[in-house]
Amino acid sequence: MASSENVNVPPPNHVMVLDGQGWIGLVDQMGTETTVVNAARVSFGKLKKEMDQRDVVLVKYLIENHHTSPLEHVVFTFLVHCPLFVRSQWHRHRTWSYNEISRRYTQEDLEFFVPAELREQSESDRQASKASDKIDQEACKAIIREQNAAAFAAYEKLLDAGVCREQARGVLPQNMMTTFWGTVDLGNLIKFLELRDSPHAQVEIREYATAIKQLIKPSLPHVAEVLGW
Ligand SMILES: Cc1cc2nc3c(=O)[nH]c(=O)nc-3n(C[C@H](O)[C@H](O)[C@H](O)COP(=O)(O)OP(=O)(O)OC[C@H]3O[C@@H](n4cnc5c(N)ncnc54)[C@H](O)[C@@H]3O)c2cc1C
C-alpha cells in the first residue's frame, strides 16, 4: 500500500463483512505450510522446498497433538475495519500485535455501523442473541440512525467550541467504525478462530473470523483440511 493511500479503503485481498459496512484484508504473510514442516523437522537437520505426502501427515500430527510451536513461524498481518465493540472483543487476544487509527489525531471518515438485521436477546444464554420476528426492524434502525446523527452533531459542536479531539470523542458511540492493523502467528490465530468462529461468539466478530479463514485457506490447504475449514 502506498503511504498516501487512505487506510479506510480495503486492500486488494479482502473480504467484505457486516453487509458491506466492514471488511478485513490480508496485507502481509510470512511463511507457508512448508515453513511449518521445516520448523518441525529442523531437529533432523533437514530442509524441504515443497511439501510431500509425509509432510501432509506431519502437519496433521502437529495440529491434532497441539504441537503448536512450528505453526508460530507463519505470520499474518490483517487490516480490519470494524465497529468499536468488535475491536474491544478482538483486542482481548493478547498474542496479536495491534496498531489502530487514533481519534486523537483525526476527525475524518467517521462512520457508524447499523446492523442489517436486529436480533433479540436469547432467553437461555445471557451472552447470546437470536433472529426475531417481534422487532420492528425499520423503526429500531431509525432509532440507531437518529442516535448516530445526534452523537456526531455533539462531537462537531464540541470541536467547533474549541474542545480537543481526545475529549470530544467521548460522545461517540460503540458502533463507530475503526480501523486497525493486527499481526499474529498461525498457532495463535488458530486459537483465536476456535474462540471467535464459534456459536458462543457474537455474530458480528464471527463474520470476521469466517472471513479470516477464507483469506488464509488458499495458502494453507492442508491446515484448513485438518481443522475442517
Ligand atoms: C464467547 C466469549 C465470551 C467472552 N466473554 C467475556 C466477558 O464477558 N468478559 C470478559 O472480560 N471477557 C470475555 N471474553 C474474553 C475472554 O475471557 C478472553 O480474554 C479472550 O477470549 C482471549 O482469550 P485468551 O486469553 O485465550 O487469548 P490470548 O490473550 O490471545 O492468549 C492466548 C493464550 O496465551 C496465554 N496467555 C496470554 N497472556 C497470558 C498471561 N498474561 N498469563 C498467562 N497466560 C497467558 C494463555 O494460554 C492464553 O489462552 C469472552 C471471550 C469469548 C470467546
Q: What radius of gyration, in Å, describes the C-alpha atoms of the chain? A: 21
Cβ neighbours of 175 (radius 10 Å): 20
* Residues in Cβ contact with 64 at an 8 Å cutoff, skipping those fewer than 6 apart: 226
**177-185 and 97-100: which strand pairing?**
antiparallel
CA 94 to CA 178: how far, in whole Å? 19
β strands within the chain, DSSP E: 14-17, 22-30, 75-83, 97-100, 120-121, 129-130, 177-185
CB-facing half-sphere around the CA of 209: CA atoms within 13 A = 24
Residues with CB under 6 A from ligand 1: 92-95, 127, 188, 191, 195, 200-201
CATH of segment(s) 116-121+130-174: 1.20.5
Q: From atom 32 of ligand 1, which residue's Cα is the shortest distance away?
A: 95
Q: Quick one: pLDDT at residue 47?
A: 81
pLDDT in tens, the chain (229 residues): 445 567 788 999 999 999 999 999 999 999 999 999 999 988 667 787 888 999 999 999 999 999 999 999 999 999 999 999 999 999 999 999 999 987 766 667 789 999 999 999 888 877 788 888 889 999 999 999 999 999 999 999 999 999 999 999 999 999 999 999 999 999 999 999 999 999 999 999 999 999 999 999 999 999 999 999 9
Tens of pLDDT, residue by residue over 105-119, are 666 778 999 999 999
Q: Of 229, 228, 227, 216, which Cα lies nearest the Cα of 32?
A: 216
* Residues in Cβ contact with 76 at an 8 Å cutoff, skipping those fewer than 6 apart: 26, 28, 29, 30, 183, 184, 185, 186, 189, 216
Q: From atom 45 of ligand 1, which residue's Cα is the shortest distance away?
A: 94
Residue 92 Cα to ligand 1 middle (Å): 6
Active-site residue, selected from the candidate residues 87, 103, 196, 206: 196
Q: Quick one: pLDDT at residue 1?
A: 47
CA 193 to CA 223: how far, in whole Å? 13
Residue 194 Cα to ligand 1 middle (Å): 12
Q: Quick one: pLDDT at residue 107?
A: 64
Please choose from 69, 85, 95 the residue to mutate so as to test ligand 1's pocket, defined by most ligand atoms within 8 A of CB: 95
Looking at ligand 1, which atom is closest to the CA of residue 198? Answer: 1
Residue span(s) of the chain under CATH 3.30.1360.170 come to: 8-113+176-229
126 alpha-carbon distance from chain centroid: 23
Asked if 83 contacts 113 with a C-beta cutoff of 8 angstroms, the reply is: yes
Residue span(s) of the chain under CATH 1.20.5 come to: 116-121+130-174
Q: Quick one: pLDDT at residue 36?
A: 95
CA 100 to CA 178: how far, in whole Å? 8
Q: Quick one: pLDDT at residue 33?
A: 94
CA 144 to CA 227: how far, in whole Å? 38
Q: Quick one: pLDDT at residue 178?
A: 95
Q: From atom 4 of ligand 1, which residue's Cα is the shortest distance away?
A: 201
Residue 29 Cα to ligand 1 middle (Å): 24
* Residues in Cβ contact with 191 at an 8 Å cutoff, skipping those fewer than 6 apart: 93, 95
Q: Quick one: pLDDT at residue 199?
A: 92
Q: Quick one: pLDDT at residue 8?
A: 82
Residue 69 Cα to ligand 1 middle (Å): 19
C-alpha cell at 94: 493478547
Q: Quick one: pLDDT at residue 125?
A: 77
Looking at ligand 1, which atom is closest to the CA of residue 195? Answer: 53
Q: From atom 40 of ligand 1, which residue's Cα is the shortest distance away?
A: 94
Active-site annotation holds for 92: no
The CATH class given to the 8-113+176-229 domain equals alpha beta
Looking at ligand 1, which atom is closest to the CA of residue 202? Answer: 1
